[in-house]
Structures are given as C-alpha cells and as structure tokens.
Amino acid sequence: MDEVPLRAVVIGSGVGGAAAALLLAHAGIATILVEKERRLGGSSAAHERDGFRVDAVAHMPCRGEAGPIGDVLGRVGERDAITFLESDEPAALCFAGVARGAAARRAGRVVLRPELLGLAGLARGAARGLDLTALEAVRAARLVAHAMSMRDVDLAACDDVTVEQHVARFLQRPAAVAALGGLLGLPLSLPGAEASAGEALLALRRLARGGRPSYPEGGAARVPDVLARLARERGAAVWMGTAVRRVLVRDARVCGVELEDGTAVPARLVVSTAGLQRTVSGLVGERHFPEAYVARARALAPQPRAVQVRIGLRRRLVAASALAGLDGSERAPPLSFYGLVPTSFDPSLAPPGHEILCARAVASARGAPSASTDELLRALDRAVPGLLSEAVFIDGSTGDGDGPGGEDAAGTAQVPGQVGRARPAVHTPVRGLYLAGRAAGGRGVGMELAAASAMECVDRILVDLGRDLGAPAPPALVTIAGALLGRAASSTVSWATRPRG
C-alpha cells in the first residue's frame, strides 16, 4: 500500500463531511471533499426563492461557539469565522386537541421566554398544555429536575430505555406519559415510544443549560460553506457535482474511490457520510466486511424520512423563535411537530417584514405511517392561526432527497440499542475506511451531532496514523498536501463543479 498516497477522500459535504475535510486538511493530510450535488451542504443546504433564503430542513437552534461547531472552528484557529445570532423572540409550546374539558380551555400556546427555559418554566409550560393533574405536574417537574442533575453515567444508563419508559417512572396515566414523551422525543425527531431516553434527556439538559439558543448568521447553509472554504484555504480540493460510484478496497484496506465517470482517485483514507448501510452495501460491498458487521449494519434502524415544510410568510406572524407541540385534533396518538423561525435570528433571510417557518413532523423509525404534509400544515395553522392564508409559498418534502431541500435519510436513528456505546463507531473493519456525520459517533442532535462526529472521526484517524492529537500540522506538511492534490490527474478542479468525462 506504500504506492497509495496519504490522501483522504471525504464523501458528502454536509456539516459532518465539511468539518471532517477541514480538520484533515488542517492536520496536513491531502484531502478531497466530494459532493454529488451541485451545491454544498447536504441537509444543511439552502435554496433561494422569492427573495427568501430557505433552509433545506427544520434545524434545531445550536449553542454557537459553545457547542461542537464552535469547537471545530476553535481547533483550526477560526472561532470567529461564523457569527452566531440570538433571537429576541421566545420559544413556544403549542397544543391542540390534546387536553380535554377545562384543560382544553387552558391549553393552546404556551410561551417559554428565555428566562423561563430552566426546569421550572419548562415543566409549568408542559403541564399547562398536556392536561396534567396537579400531582402529575409536580412529578413532571421532578422528572425535569432529575434530568438536570444527572451525571453523564446516569444519562448513559438511560440509553437503552425509551423516553416513554422513562416518563412512566414519574407518571402513571398512559395519556400523560404519551403526551410528555412526545415532547421529549422531538429533538431526536422520533416518537416518545421509540426515542432513546438517554439522548433525549441529554438534549433537554443542553437546552436548559445552554443559555439563549443561537443560529448561524446567513442560515444553516453558512456552516458547511464556511467549513469547506476554510478546508480549501488549507489545501483541500472541493468537488461538487461529482458522485462516488464505489470505494476501492484491496487486501481489506482502502486504496481509493471510483467516481461515476470512471475516474479512479487513489487514496489511503476515505470518510463516508453516506450512512452505514449505504456505505457497507452500496459504496464498498458487503464481501469486504465480517459477517457480524454486515448483519449489524443491516439491522440498524435509519433516521426516518420526516415530512417537512418550509413556509415563506408575507408578514411576521409566528412571533416565536421556535415552536414545539402536539396536535391531537386529527390523530391518536397526537402528531408531534417542531418548527424553527430562522428569520427571528437573522431577518435578512427574508424580504423586509417577511418571515420563514421551517417545520417537520416526527416520524417513526419502525416504518409506521407518518404524518402527511397536509396534516402537518393543518397542525401548524392551528398553532399559528392564519398561517396558511399569509403564505407566499409552501415547499414540502418527505425527506427523501427529492425537491428543494429534500433530506437524504443517512443518519442512524437515536433509538435504544443504537446510541451511546452502542452507536456505530467512526472506524470500520476495513482499514482506512471511516464514518462521520449523523450515522456514527458523537452525541447530540442535528448539526451539532454531525460536527461532534467529525471531530471524533478525525481524532481516530490521527491516532491510527500515530499522530499527536494536540500538535498542529507543520506548515511544510500543508504545502506538501496541496502539492499532492495539484499533481494528481484527477484533481484538476478544486472548487465549483468538477468537469465530467
């Protein structure tokens, strides 16, 4: 394998792939970031419409510089490369058709102002909308307080139980368990009956302790754009409109990739963000892996494809930075949904006076029928009366990669048996093949999970190469990496769209 250059090919330019490419290039490793689409970002991409800059999916707010994205930038000395903005608007819990009788009159929209995002405010807000008795409200508050005080080892002990199973330790009434479980499972985009309690409680703790949530200036697409630019500045090549047909393996070791046009790119390292199942069965081939590893990959539940909508509004109507809620008007159990208002953080994402709402419905990892786009839209219209009548446009998708902003379901569902120590590792039995993004490694949700996974992946690569994790790459090594890419016959284009043929 000595004839194969120490080059890394990173497949996929979402936050995980772009972060991995940046960290590899910063370490002085010749790196090529390959993206099949003609724009960067994956599920963190954006598109322009009617003067709006619209995120591909409904992201969670992040912790900005204090979170994994800030950590990636800090590792390369570029912590100020992305500006994270806070919103003056509160978050809101929205309920419709969940409570009954007098409780229904008290339910509706519960505002969670920043100063109330602690455990007391969260518990009170949930109790108001979920038809909880006074005793249940006290027990729900105890659940939240317990989550705040849990050590990491205590959270890990909850990894292999569902959110509803954990809630049932505090509440007895099935309807109350299902309702509160539905809310707690929202950050993982899973029903409470399926979401891992350990991961959900970790998300709750980070929400309560993280201070005011933030969002990248310019929208979610700003993150992969900046990470890819910084990677290029460190000698990495970025090829868009270039698909990888297969990963080349010889003697159980990676030796490169083959592109769709037949071009072979020699490389000793490949980082795939395409998901474990697609990587094993499609890009590499199951024959290269031990039978037990293949069986494990086949058995994993992928992150389900969620129904998502992006709504451009002609005036500011939502009056919240984020919405989370349950709607039982048409469904049993109630439909769980989440929405982010990017313009509450960065008004420049829409024409003056306009607003954007990006929302998704929770989907089942078990393959059960999920909500329809119409059901989600009706739930949102009940949460924000008049929403649909004020829409300039409505973009919808089922998260299957079709249409503007369709999300490729490449992640691993955060269900019991697939999180914490049981989460797929960033390294694989094929030497030189690694995984990053939402499919392997890391903890957390959304863009932060992808960034955490990238750091874990690159750390493992450097350890496998015998590198000191704390040592910066020598300037000469970065120069050599750029020279290697410049001499490679398949590396004639470093940005924009790589010519085919």
What DSSP string describes 324-360?
EEEE-SS-SSPEEEEEE-GGGT-GGGSSTT-EEEEEE
Residue 455 confidence (pLDDT): 97
Confidence of residue 112 (pLDDT cuts 50, 70, 90): low
Q: Which of 429, 409, 427, 434 is nearest to 9 (CA)?
A: 434
Query: What is the DSSP secondary structure assignment for residue 95, as one 8-state letter?
Result: E
Summarize the confidence of residues 298-314 as an average pLDDT. 92
Residue 454 burial (10 A CB sphere; 0-12, 13-18, 19+): buried
Residue 274 phi/psi, 5° resolution? Answer: -80, 0
SS3 of 186-233: the string is HHHCCCCCCCEHHHHHHHHHHHHHCCCCEEECCCCCHHHHHHHHHHHH
Summarize the confidence of residues 55-81 as an average pLDDT. 93
Confidence of residue 317 (pLDDT cuts 50, 70, 90): very high
Q: Which of 251, 429, 327 is nearest to 99 (CA)?
A: 327
Residue 95 confidence (pLDDT): 82
For 36-62, write each residue's pLDDT tens digit. 999 999 989 999 999 999 999 999 888
Place of tokens 């990495």: 236
For 84-95, write each residue's pLDDT tens digit. 999 988 888 888
Summarize the confidence of residues 479-487 as an average pLDDT. 44
Which CA distances in Å does 343 have to 85, 87, 217, 315, 410? 11, 9, 10, 11, 27
Domain boundaries, the chain: 7-43+222-302+410-487, 49-62+76-87+306-397, 118-209
For 265-274, write each residue's pLDDT tens digit. 999 999 999 9
Highest-scoring range by mean pLDDT, 212-221, 366-375, 406-415, 476-485: 212-221
CATH 3.50.50.60 is right for the domain spanning 7-43+222-302+410-487? yes
pTM above 0.85, yes or no: yes
Percent of the chain residues past pLDDT 70, beyond the cut: 83
For 223-243, write each residue's pLDDT tens digit. 999 999 999 999 999 999 999
For 182-195, write each residue's pLDDT tens digit. 989 999 999 999 99
